[in-house]
Amino acid sequence: MTQGSQLQRLVEVMNQLRSPGGCPWDAEQTHESLLKYLLEESYEFVDAVASGDRMDMREELGDVLLQVYFHARIAEEHPTDPFSIEDVAQGIADKLIRRHPHVFAGLEVKDSEDVLKNWEEIKKQEKGRTSALDGIAMAQPALPLIEKLLYRAEKYDVVVETPSTVNIVGQADESSVGQALLAVIAWAHANGIDAEAALRVEALKLSEQVRTIEAR
């Protein structure tokens, strides 16, 4: 089978699972009930990438793809505003074409920085955004949220104040810990370092340290 036919096969499998006579569990699911699985599968793919295991990456990416198809299949059943996986694919393909005018419309760019500037400007126009905060998912974990806020503030020329020093001496409270973390993340951002990625490296080192101690 071709790649296209395998994608169509997945559509057909999902249709059968959600249809009468299919799977009771799948038929009961909603967008809300599936959110935890979308997050879980995404994190498992992150782990697979970190491990470098190609088979795991393929499997976990398939699990993420399942979540996309599952949500799209549920969306088809909406009584007044349905959309399908075809609509989802069309939307993202159209978006990629619009936001890559240097590829599809002959716009000249010097480097990837120009590409990102164009992307943000086109996105701003499409969404009618007037604030640096527009479109930011405030429910995301705090570390990437702060990174996103700093990035947006920079792109919208909003000068924000962040702590310039970190004090980890003495009694800690929620405010002092939050300020210290903000200072470190802002420091990383100013130096072009992905704080999440840097912290993940240290987390993996810590996990290996635990394994080593347990193995003694």
pLDDT along the chain (216 residues), means of 10: 78 96 97 96 93 96 97 97 97 96 94 91 84 88 93 88 84 90 94 93 93 92
Please report, for the chain, the start and end positions of each structural domain, with discontinuous segments joined by +: 3-96, 133-214
The answer to whether 44 and 52 are in contact (CB under 8 A) is no
DSSP output for 79-104: SSS---HHHHHHHHHHHHHHT-HHHH
According to the model, what pLDDT value does residue 132 have?
85
Residue 195 CB coordination number (10 Å): 20
Whether the model clears a pTM of 0.85, i.e. scores above it, the answer is no
According to the model, what pLDDT value does residue 65 have?
97
CATH of domain 3-96: 1.10.287.1080
The answer to whether 99 and 119 are in contact (CB under 8 A) is yes
According to the model, what pLDDT value does residue 30 have?
97
Distances (CA, A) of 78 to 31, 81, 83: 11, 6, 8
